[in-house]
Chains A and B, each alone.
Chain A
């Protein structure tokens, strides 16, 4: 699913506009599998799969594969529709320097949920 994110985000001009001030690298952790995603001016410009020895990123979203797969369903089950729903249930951790994430929540929520295809919130 992660490999779909760049294409989906970059094709969504409204989402790119919403993130036009975002420049950061963040990590998605699925179990022990790590991926770094570089964002420049709202576009996902690089997706680098791990493993990494010294990964350099601002924040990381960490959850099990089962959780991510439910989160990325077109209509996720109750409790899996939003990052904060998962965080509240302790099914996901948001770690690191949260400033870019919290400052651009409405952007990152749609970037992370992009694989749902057309589900915008």
Chain B
């Protein structure tokens, strides 16, 4: 293999986020319509490496992704050592809007997976005017906890290994091994208690079942893509949101809960038709 650089550029953005100074890691590639990508709980922007390296996408879209505070290469805010990290719906929404403003994105598309797929439903409900379109990956109105979350953050269990172990089965069986283990590696690198803190939003605070019917897709088109092997955000959960909102929904064959990371090529074959629709909106 000859040495080469990927067409991804990265910078650290300093901004006031949720009223506090933050240092946030931002990656981007391509040009055109801003496509702001939101990673899953306990992971980071590397999940979107496949998209940012695909010219079919970057020819028409400026693909951006940021590591949420506490995640990836973004720092936690000063004083983090004395508090428990817990993501809430209002903080998560505000964070996305404030980052989008700081990056001066003009009428962006937001695409999120898992917790990101949930928050796009909140954005569709509360801030549809801010986005050209919203794409929910592995998006459902609610997910009940199906294991004791306290296992994810305690000193006698390796946090990285238990987080990867908990989510490993959400990767579809046919995912290429290199991408399966890369996806798990991101989880193994997550900071202590971060995945657990994100799940406070995913399994408790972010329940939007009582407001899904109020989402108006005429104000902001909503597209849903869910992997058939996802048992956390199930196909049924996604199709229920589609039925209640009129959003377009596709169940992706052979994919699981981390489509863009576990099998980028296969996922992109499902994403491109959606992006084609968004280009002509």
Known contacts A103-B162, A105-B168, A109-B169; A81/B229 CB under 8 A = yes
How many chain A residues touch the partner (CB < 8 A)?
23
Give the docked Cα–Cα distance between A89 and B171 (Å): 17
A84 contacts which of B144, B161, B166, B184 (Cβ < 8 Å)? B166
Asked if B170 and A102 make an inter-chain contact with CB atoms under 8 angstroms apart, the answer reads no
**Most chain B CB within a 10 A radius of its CB, from A75, A76, A106:** A106
A33 to chain B, nearest CB (A): 25
Nearest A-chain residue to B184, judged by Cβ: A106
Q: How large is the interface on B (under 10, 10 to 19, 20 to 34, 35 or more residues)?
A: 20 to 34
A72 to chain B, nearest CB (A): 14
Chain B hits for A83, CB < 8 A: 169
| Residues in B226-244 with C-beta less than 8 Å from chain A | 228-229, 231-232
Nearest A-chain residue to B174, judged by Cβ: A75
Chain A hits for B165, CB < 8 A: 102, 104-106, 109
A-B interface pairs (CB < 8 A), number: 62
Asked if B157 and A99 make an inter-chain contact with CB atoms under 8 angstroms apart, the answer reads yes
A54 to chain B, nearest CB (A): 27
Assess whether B21 is interfacial by the CB under 8 Å rule: no
Give the docked Cα–Cα distance between A84 and B169 (Å): 7
Give the docked Cα–Cα distance between A84 and B157 (Å): 18
Chain A hits for B166, CB < 8 A: 84, 105
Show the binding face of A for B, using Cβ within 8 Å.
Answer: 75-76, 78-79, 81-85, 87-89, 98-99, 102-106, 109, 119-121
* Nearest 5 Cβ contacts at the A-B interface: A82-B169, A105-B165, A88-B146, A85-B231, A102-B151
26 contacts between A and B (CB under 8 A): A75-B173, A78-B228, A78-B229, A79-B231, A84-B147, A85-B169, A87-B146, A87-B147, A88-B146, A99-B156, A99-B157, A102-B165, A103-B156, A103-B158, A103-B161, A104-B161, A104-B165, A105-B162, A105-B166, A106-B164, A106-B168, A106-B184, A109-B165, A121-B168, A121-B171, A121-B180
